[in-house]
Amino acid sequence: MFQQLNCTNISSLLFLVSLLGIFLNQKNILVMLMSLEMMFLAISFNLIFSSIRLDDIIGQIFSLLILTVAAAESSIGLAILVIYYRIRSTITVELMNLMKG
Amino acid sequence: MYLLILFLPLLGSLISGFGGRWLGCHGTNVFSTSCVIISALLALLAFFEIGLAGTTCTIFLTSWIKSGAFQVSWGFWFDSITVTMLVVITLISSLVHVYSVKYMEQDPHHPRFMAYLEIFTFFMLILVTGDNLIQMFLGWEGVGLASYLLINFWYTRLAANQSAIKALITNRVGDFGLSLAIFSIFWVFNSVDYTIIFPLVPLFEDHFLMFMGFKLHVLTLISIFLFIGAVGKSAQLGLHTWLPDAMEGPTPVSALIHAATMVTAGVFLMIRFSPLLEFSPTILFILIIFGSLTAFFASLTGVFQNDLKRVIAYSTCSQLGYMIFSCGMSCYDVSLFHLANHAFFKALLFLSAGSVIHAVSNEQDMRRMGSLLKFMPLTYSVMLIGSLALTGFPFLTGFYSKDFILELTQSSSYSNLHTFYVSFACWLGSMSVFFTSFYSFRLIYLTFLNNTNLTRNSVNTVHESSGMMVFPLIILSIGSIFIGYLTRDLFIGFGTNFWASAIFILPKYSNFIEAEELPIIIKWLPFALSLLGIFFASFIHLSSKTFHSKSILQNLLAFFGFLINKKWYWDILYNRLIILPILNFGYLIAFKILDRGFIELSGPYGFTKFIPFWSQILIKLQTGQITHYLFFIIFSFCFFSIISVYNYVNFTFSLVLVFFTLLFFI
């Protein structure tokens, strides 16, 4: 069987890595989107692990739903990105400050 | 009939005040004057019925205020004090009305003037006839109001405005004392009716009131408050500064209000409250000290004044001092007698001064008059009668009251009476006799006898006043000659029962008999002093000697003369030490720091400044960078999780503090 601690650690670590990926990245918005996907992955992983651990199907169903949501989200995100690139000709995060207060 | 005495002046005032433009100048004059004259005739009738026939009349009109134990009614109480005051008020008032018909002939505001004079008369009558303190207070405030309106009659003059406000506010200080007296009387006696208070006074002789740890004798406290009211209204030392300034009003007003009636309201109050004052030796002492100081101070100040009306105003102030210290010696009847007599000769003096001022085209400075004897012998003779009556010349009116007061002060020479402080009044009163006759005759010399200092234009227009103005002068001069002699036995005669129960004197304070037993040489003393004053004034003005030398004594005298001419700097001291600090407090502290400062800062002004400041900070947070928003999300997630964990362990106030400091730094 999986080591319980190990699996939790992996998912938490993955979540943290993705968080830092979003947080520390100042350059590329693609990296941000990928970190977002990683975040969903970490969550799904955690849910699946918990469902196996607790012997309950709900977690897996939920992760399937997350999968679809993530797919939809990334497609919309990429679409926004494409539109943005068409207008601004750049996808650098630092330059996205037109909405300054 | 008794109510008619009161309500005729009210009617006259209302109709001539509100209907003046329909009645017209002559209509108002005739109507209002006849109202007061009828009222005066009725007052004489009332004097006959109550004073001479020895009855007392009470009239209950209707209830006014009813609230538990506090019951005030519209009631009128006519006893011998009241009718004496009634006769004085209505008689002087009607003469002044007749006088001012001609005196104010050139003035365009006749109906207003007549209405004010009448409303004053009405309030004065309310003051003296009220059978409870509240109604008395109504009259008391009413005459203050009427005084304000009348001093401010020529409202376009700045000096008149200032004097009117000064008179009103100075009176208000005294009124504050009087209202405290009414409150404390109600607190102690549970009533404001005279008929309930006075019989109960002896029961409270040993009654004490605990106030903030102090044990206060109730009757002394009440009478001191009453006396503060009298100080304000009767211009005793301390609150006297309004009286000379009130001379900015028309001269008939000065004659009516500031000589005969309103200023005597304070003395009337003291006389009315004789059953209460008698049980407090402290207040008798205070009355003597204040009265004699006022008499002396005012007569000394009158010597160095150059304004014709101001000299007479200080003379009034001085005579009020006599009345007050005679109350302090428990001689209330003598005080009232002097009040009545004084009203006659002081109104005479004021009205003849008005006649002089009228003749020399409204010049009031005595130094610019002189030798008016040639032009107006009648005014001279009535003024001489008034002055002689004032100085207490034998067998004139002043002699019977004023000299008797001075004789009574001499009773301090009897050491077994234990009234040692009366000698204070004796010395100061005797000295003021000298000064009184000095300034009276200085006035006569400067106005009538000396060489003229008038301008040529004025000399050409000097004339004796017309009949309407001379008639009151003649009536008043007849009064000044005979009233004292005629009513002496009635008012202060030996064992007279005129006062019945109106005035109460404790037997141990009664020193009439001792005054009768004085050596003849002492009885002559006031007359000698007043003659000395007359001779001194004559010497200075008749001889060609002038006092110009450089000795130290002369310089000192000149300095004191200057000081007294400036009225002992009372006004300046009050302005600098009281009024200016209060004004500064009002502007700098109450207005600038509190009203427009602190309250505004914590209220609307502070918010309008503070919210933009905060919003500027919050605007700066919206950088538009995604990473910054992410930082806030993660930071607040961490922060609140720490807080919640920490709160779960132990809630401390310091954490809340940390939270708010963080909020502040953001």
Least confident of B296-305, B397-406, B408-417, B495-504: B408-417
DSSP letter assigned to residue A25: -
Q: Is the pLDDT of residue B665 over 70?
A: no
Q: Is the pLDDT of residue A1 over 60?
A: no
Which residues does chain A have within 8 Å of residue B635's beta carbon, measured at their own beta carbons? none
Q: What is the mean pLDDT of residues B74-79?
A: 91
DSSP letter assigned to residue B52: I
Q: What does the pLDDT read at residue B641?
A: 84
Answer yes or no: are the C-beta atoms of B218 and B207 closer than 8 Å.
yes
Contact B622 A100 (CB under 8 A): yes
Q: Helices B110-129 & B80-103, crossing angle to 10 degrees?
A: 170
Which residues does chain B have within 8 Å of residue A23's beta carbon, measured at their own beta carbons? 627, 630-631, 634
**b (16+ CB within 10 A) / e for B455-481:** eeebeeebebbeebbbebbebbbebbb
Q: How far apart are the first and last CA of chain A?
A: 53
Q: What pLDDT, in 10s, does the model give residues B143-163?
A: 999 999 999 999 999 999 999
* Distance, CA of B622 to CA of A97 (rounded, Å): 10
How close, in Å, is residue B624 to chain A by CA atoms? 4
Q: What pLDDT, in 10s, does the model give residues B428-485?
A: 888 999 999 999 999 999 999 888 888 888 888 888 888 888 999 999 999 999 998 9
Length of chain B: 666
Flag whether A37 is in a domain.
Answer: yes
Domain of A53, CATH number, reads 1.10.287.3510
Task: Tell me the torsion sign for CA atoms B447, B449, B455, B458.
Answer: positive
What pairs with residue B77 in β-bridges?
B58
Closest CA to B253 of B136, B99, B36, B30: B99
Q: What pLDDT, in 10s, does the model give residues B164-185?
A: 999 999 999 999 999 999 999 9
Dihedral (Cα; B553, B557, B558, B564), 10-degree rounding: 160
- Other C-beta atoms closer than 10 Å to the C-beta of B44 total 17
Burial class (CB in 10 A: 0-12, 13-18, 19+), B610: exposed
Burial class (CB in 10 A: 0-12, 13-18, 19+), B235: buried
Q: What pLDDT, in 10s, does the model give residues B317-366?
A: 999 999 999 999 888 999 999 999 999 999 999 999 999 998 888 888 88
Answer yes or no: are the C-beta atoms of B517 and B414 closer than 8 Å.
no
Q: Is the pLDDT of residue A92 over 90?
A: no
* Distance, CA of B484 to CA of B398 (rounded, Å): 7
Q: What ipTM is given for this predicted complex?
A: 0.86
Q: Which of B626, B631, B633, B638 to mutate to test the interface with A (most CBs of A within 10 A)?
A: B626
Q: H-helix or E-strand containing B78?
A: strand B70-78
DSSP letter assigned to residue B247: G
The mean pLDDT value of chain B amounts to 88
Q: What does the pLDDT read at residue B617?
A: 83
Spatial CB neighbours of B418, under 8 Å, sequence gap ≥ 6: none
Flag whether A99 is in a domain.
Answer: no
Residue B526, amino acid? P
Residue A91's pLDDT band (cuts 50, 70, 90): confident
Residue B652's pLDDT band (cuts 50, 70, 90): low
Contact B624 A98 (CB under 8 A): yes
Give backbone dihedrals phi and psi of A26, rounded to 5 degrees, phi first: -110, -10
Length of chain A: 101
Flag whether A78 is in a domain.
Answer: yes
Tokens for B178, please give them. 């009087």
Q: What does the pLDDT read at residue B198?
A: 92
Structural domain boundaries, residue A35: 1-88
Total tally of structural domains belonging to chain A: 1
Q: What does the pLDDT read at residue B106?
A: 86
Q: What pLDDT, in 10s, does the model give residues B481-518?
A: 999 899 988 888 888 888 888 888 888 887 777 778 88
Q: What is the mean pLDDT of residues B411-422?
A: 71
Contact B622 A94 (CB under 8 A): no
HSE of B253, CA atoms in CB hemisphere, 13 A: 29
Closest CA to B249 of B348, B144, B160: B160
* Distance, CA of B476 to CA of B472 (rounded, Å): 6
- Other C-beta atoms closer than 10 Å to the C-beta of B336 total 31
Give backbone dihedrals phi and psi of A2, rounded to 5 degrees, phi first: -75, 145
Q: H-helix or E-strand containing B107?
A: none
* Distance, CA of B660 to CA of B142 (rounded, Å): 61
Q: What pLDDT, in 10s, does the model give residues B206-255?
A: 888 888 888 888 999 999 999 999 999 999 988 989 988 899 889 999 99
Q: Which of B621, B623, B625, B637 to mutate to test the interface with A (most CBs of A within 10 A)?
A: B625
Q: What does the pLDDT read at residue B418?
A: 64
Q: Which of residues 60-99 of A touch B (CB under 8 A)?
A: 93-94, 96-99
Residue B74's pLDDT band (cuts 50, 70, 90): very high
DSSP letter assigned to residue B643: H
DSSP letter assigned to residue B214: E
- In this complex, is the C-beta atom of A100 within 8 Å of any C-beta atom belonging to chain B? yes
Q: How many CB pairs under 8 A join A and B?
A: 32
How close, in Å, is residue B642 to chain A by CA atoms? 18
Q: What does the pLDDT read at residue A94?
A: 79
Flag whether A101 is in a domain.
Answer: no
Q: What does the pLDDT read at residue B293?
A: 93
Answer yes or no: are the C-beta atoms of B406 and B272 closer than 8 Å.
no
**Percent of chain B scoring above 90 in pLDDT:** 49
Q: What pLDDT, in 10s, does the model give residues B586-634?
A: 999 888 888 888 888 888 888 888 888 888 888 887 887 888 888 888 8
Flag whether A93 is in a domain.
Answer: no
- In this complex, is the C-beta atom of A55 within 8 Å of any C-beta atom belonging to chain B? no
Flag whether A71 is in a domain.
Answer: yes
How close, in Å, is residue A36 to chain B by CA atoms? 12
Q: What pLDDT, in 10s, does the model give residues B529-552?
A: 999 999 988 888 887 666 566 677
Q: Is B456 helix (H, G, I), strand (E, B) or coil?
A: helix
- Structure pTM? 0.83
Q: Is B60 helix (H, G, I), strand (E, B) or coil?
A: strand
Domain extents in chain B: 1-279, 281-545, 547-606, 623-665
